[in-house]
Amino acid sequence: MSQQPVQSQALGELRVQIDALDRQLLQLLNERAKVAEKVGEIKRAEGSPFFRPDRVAQVIDKITGANPGPLKSEHVASIWREIMSACLALEAPQRVAVLGPQGTFCEQAAIEFFGSAASLIYCANFDEVFHATAAGTAQYGVVGMENSTEGVVARSLDLFLRSPVHVVGEVSLLVRHNLLRQTPGDEGIEVVLAHPQALAQCQGWLSQHLPLAERRAVASNAEGARLAATNPKWAALASERAAAQFGLHIVHHAIQDEAYNRTRFAVIALPQTMATPPASGKDCTSLVVSVPNRPGAVHDLLVPLKKNGVSMTRFESRPAKSGQWEYYFYIDIQGHISEPHVAAALQELQGLCAFYKVLGSYPVSE
């Protein structure tokens, strides 16, 4: 008897085992879903929030901590996030506003935080994301905050100033920009379309390889991909997800100037939708302040932080647009607002400010 039939028989038996295990998994998942529906009924009666990112984190930590292998823990975490997202959709589908169209990194960040069962609402710009979240059209929004090479997303900072929403979470996403177009090669490209941040993050590569191409800013990278699909002389800087969405070729992969290019996205919500998340042990508190225009005023802002042992991780200024050369200062500090040393520092800081607003206190993204 030849070896081939024996191997084929063994493979067939293993596939039968996998099929049986798949049926068991499906049964268990549906049993879990039924329990989740009962949880949803209790939450609805109590008026308590359906989505609890701290609970999601706790469940995933327990599961990955008990993982015996051979599955990698990061893969187990991804699987369980999707399971919990699907079960949550049975309790109450979560409406999340993101920058559209489909294929943006903002969409990807939302899926990473909420899972793919969330109901995404695509917006033309971050102004619309803030408005949809504040108006209740969406329960949550996801907006870009900061890039590791190009700095803050200025429009998001400006919108936080007067919006009633606060930050309840964040996602740090490794961003790889790809050159996309209708045809496989890069000959004859006359226009490259992308969000201004993406154009800036790829400016070195574009100057070297497409020096004559016009760089045209659009509302999002996915919008650039959508437009590139309409003209063979246009190309876009966007994600692999956008390439698949609009049927484009990936002409060049990962052309961003910095290999380790990350963008930090904020998850926003009205306080009545989600209160400040509890302290996780690894948190960030974001705030915006202004101070009277006098010598040493900015220096004085830092004294309460140093005095109480609070570390500042970001300090950005934005014009107040008052015509008086006044500025708002956006500050990130390590720690949660409920921690005594953080609370003490912020109480002292508030006394020095002409304007003071906590934007959120939330777990930091890994």
Note the pLDDT tens digit of each residue in 178-192: 999 999 989 999 999
289 within 8 A of 329, measured Cβ to Cβ: yes
- Identify which of 172, 360, 347 has the alpha carbon closest to the alpha carbon of residue 283: 360
Residue 1: is its pLDDT beyond 60? Answer: no
Share of the chain above pLDDT 70, in %: 97
Residue 321: is its pLDDT beyond 80? Answer: no
Note the pLDDT tens digit of each residue in 140-163: 999 999 988 788 888 999 999 989
Average of per-residue pLDDT across 334-355? 96
Note the pLDDT tens digit of each residue in 121-140: 999 999 999 999 999 999 99
The CA distances from residue 204 to 200, 208, 226, 239, in Å, are: 8, 6, 24, 19
Note the pLDDT tens digit of each residue in 4-60: 666 777 888 999 999 999 999 999 999 999 999 999 899 889 888 888 888 888 999
Question: In the block, which residue shows the tokens 């309460």?
Answer: 304
Sketch out the chain's domains with CATH numbers.
3-91 (1.20.59.10), 95-175+262-267 (3.40.190.10), 180-252 (3.40.190.10), 276-363 (3.30.70.260)
Please write down the long-range contacts of 202-207, taking CB distance under 8 Å and 24 or more positions apart.
202/177, 202/237, 202/255, 202/256, 202/257, 203/257, 204/257, 205/255, 205/256, 205/257, 206/255
pLDDT at residue 5, rounded to an integer: 67
Lookup: tokens for 347: 């109480």
CA distance 310 to 361: 14
User: What are 327's strand-pairing partners?
Assistant: 319
Average of per-residue pLDDT across 266-281? 95
Residue 254: is its pLDDT beyond 70? Answer: yes
The CA distances from residue 9 to 15, 20, 314, in Å, are: 10, 17, 61
Residue 237: is its pLDDT beyond 60? Answer: yes
Helix ranges (H only) for 276-339 are: 297-307
According to DSSP, residue 66 is labeled: T
User: What are 316's strand-pairing partners?
Assistant: 330
Question: Do the strands 327-334 and 249-252 form a parallel or antiparallel pair, or are they unpaired?
Answer: unpaired
Average of per-residue pLDDT across 313-325? 78
Q: At what angle do helices 340-350 and 297-307 cross, to 10 degrees?
A: 160
Q: Under DSSP, is residue 252 helix (H, G, I), strand (E, B) or coil?
A: strand
CA distance 171 to 15: 38
331 within 8 A of 304, measured Cβ to Cβ: no
Q: What is the mean pLDDT of the chain?
A: 92
Mean pLDDT is lowest, of 140-149, 227-236, 337-346, for 140-149
Residue 323: is its pLDDT beyond 60? Answer: no
Average of per-residue pLDDT across 343-356? 95
Give pTM, 2 decimals.
0.85
CA distance 362 to 279: 7
CA distance 239 to 106: 11
